[in-house]
A = this chain, B = another copy of it.
C-alpha cells in the first residue's frame, strides 16, 4: 500500500531541523521519501492508494512515551490526593492484585486510545501480564516496547530469570510492532540474589536493562543503608548495565551516578507530571544534558499522573528546569521536543523510528496549525512545547496506518465498549 502526505510543513527531526514544506511518501509501514517534492515527481512515484492532505498542518515523527504502565488506566482518579505510601499500600497494590489478563487487555487498549489522541506513536511499558498487554497493542495496531517489571513477589531468582527469558523470546521478533527489553521494577523491591540473577541474564543475552531508579530521596538513602552505594552504583557493580539500558525518573543521581550513566551510555527517562503529583522531586535535566546523557520523556502511569499527554510532559520538562534553576532560559523548547521524539526512540531501541527519513517507520502525526493556540507561527517548535495541546493532534499514524484522525479511532474496536469494560474492572 502506498500513501502520500502532501501540502503540509515537515519537521523531519524535531528540535534539530526547521519546519519546511514537503511531502512524505510511504510504502506499507516505511517511509520512502520525506522532503520537498513537486507535483510531477509525486505523480511519477504513484499511483497512491491513500492521499492525505496536510494543508495547514505540521507533519512530524510521533511522540515516544518512554515510561508507562498502560493498564493502570483502571485506577485513574480512583485514589488521588493521598500521601504516597498510603496511595501505594491502600489503593494501588491491593487493587492490582485482583487484575485478570482480560482486565489488562481492556485497560491497555484504553491507554492506547489516549496515546493516539496525544500524538504518541509508541510507548515503553512496564506492567504485569505482558502477553495480554502485547495483544492489546497488536490488535490496535500500536507500537509498544515492553520492559520487564519483575520484583521479589515474582518468585525465586530461577523463576524470575525464566520469566524474563520467556518474555524476551516471545515478545521479540514475533510481531513487527512489539519488542521487549530486560528490566525489573526497582532495586528497593528486588533482593540482591534476584538482582544478581538478572544481571547474569543481561550478560548472557548481551542485553540492556531498564528499571525505576532514584525516584525518591528515601529510595536512594535506603539503598545506601543496605549496600553502602546508591542504586545506580550498586546495580552497576553487579554488571547490570554492561550492555546499556536506562533509568526511569532519576530525580536524585549523584555525580558518580551521572558518570556511570555517561560511561555506560544509559538513558534517563524523566516523568515530570508524575514527579510533581506524587511530590517526588524535579530531575536536574540540565546537568544530565550537559553530561551528554541521552534523555527521554514519559508520562508514567495514569494512576500517578493522571493523563497520558505528552504536551503536558513537554511543558513541564522545560518549565520545571526554569523554575528550579531560577533561569528562564534553561532547557529550551527544541531540546525538549528532541527528548519527546528521537530521545525516546533511542532509549527504547527503536532506531527505525527516529525521524522522517527514507527507510524509517512511518510513525508520524499531523498537528493542526489552524487553532488559536498555534498562532502566530513565529516558532513552531516553541508553539508545540509551550502552547501545544492534544487538541492540535489531527492525525496519528503508526507503521503507515492511520489509527486516529479528527477525534475518531481506527483500532478495530468500539470506543464505547472499551470505556465500559475498563470502567467495570473495579466493580
A residues within 8 Å of B by Cβ? 73-74, 76-78, 80-84, 87, 110-111, 113-114, 117, 273, 275-279, 281-282, 302, 305-309, 312, 315, 318-320, 322-323, 325-330, 332-333, 370-373, 375-380, 382-383, 386-391, 415-416, 418-419, 422-423, 425-426
Which residues on B sit within 8 Å (CB–CB) of A117?
371-373, 391
- Taking the nearest CB of chain B, how far is it from the CB of A69, in angstroms? 15
Given contacts A77-B383, A278-B322, A279-B326, 5 further A-B contacts (CB under 8 A): A111-B372, A276-B323, A305-B386, A306-B386, A378-B426
Residue of B nearest to A332 (CB): B81
- Taking the nearest CB of chain B, how far is it from the CB of A412, in angstroms? 16
Q: B312, A375: Cβ atoms under 8 Å?
A: no
In the complex, A351→B277 CA distance in Å? 32
Q: A82, B328: Cβ atoms under 8 Å?
A: yes
The answer to whether residues A373 and B308 also contact, given A325-B279, A378-B77, A383-B76 and a CB cut-off of 8 A, is: yes
- Taking the nearest CB of chain B, how far is it from the CB of A217, in angstroms? 9
Residue of B nearest to A323 (CB): B276
Q: B277, A322: Cβ atoms under 8 Å?
A: yes
In the complex, A426→B378 CA distance in Å? 10
Residue of B nearest to A74 (CB): B376
Partner of A377 from B113, B315, B332, B423 at Cβ < 8 Å: B423
- Taking the nearest CB of chain B, how far is it from the CB of A318, in angstroms? 8
Q: Indicate the member of A278, A382, A415, A425 with the most B CB atoms within 10 Å.
A: A382
Q: A389, B386: Cβ atoms under 8 Å?
A: no
In the complex, A329→B73 CA distance in Å? 20
Which residues on B sit within 8 Å (CB–CB) of A391?
117, 389-391
* A-B contact list, 14 entries, CB within 8 Å: A73-B376, A81-B329, A83-B329, A84-B328, A111-B372, A276-B320, A277-B328, A279-B326, A281-B323, A307-B388, A309-B387, A312-B315, A375-B419, A376-B419
Which residues on B sit within 8 Å (CB–CB) of A419?
370, 372, 375-376
In the complex, A136→B60 CA distance in Å? 35
The answer to whether residues A387 and B305 also contact, given A327-B279, A377-B423, A379-B80 and a CB cut-off of 8 A, is: yes
- Taking the nearest CB of chain B, how far is it from the CB of A178, in angstroms? 21
In the complex, A380→B318 CA distance in Å? 29
Residue of B nearest to A304 (CB): B328
Q: A327, B83: Cβ atoms under 8 Å?
A: yes
Which residues on B sit within 8 Å (CB–CB) of A333?
80-81
Q: B376, A76: Cβ atoms under 8 Å?
A: yes
Q: A389, B309: Cβ atoms under 8 Å?
A: yes
Q: A415, B329: Cβ atoms under 8 Å?
A: no
- Taking the nearest CB of chain B, how far is it from the CB of A315, in angstroms? 7
In the complex, A329→B80 CA distance in Å? 8
Residue of B nearest to A322 (CB): B279
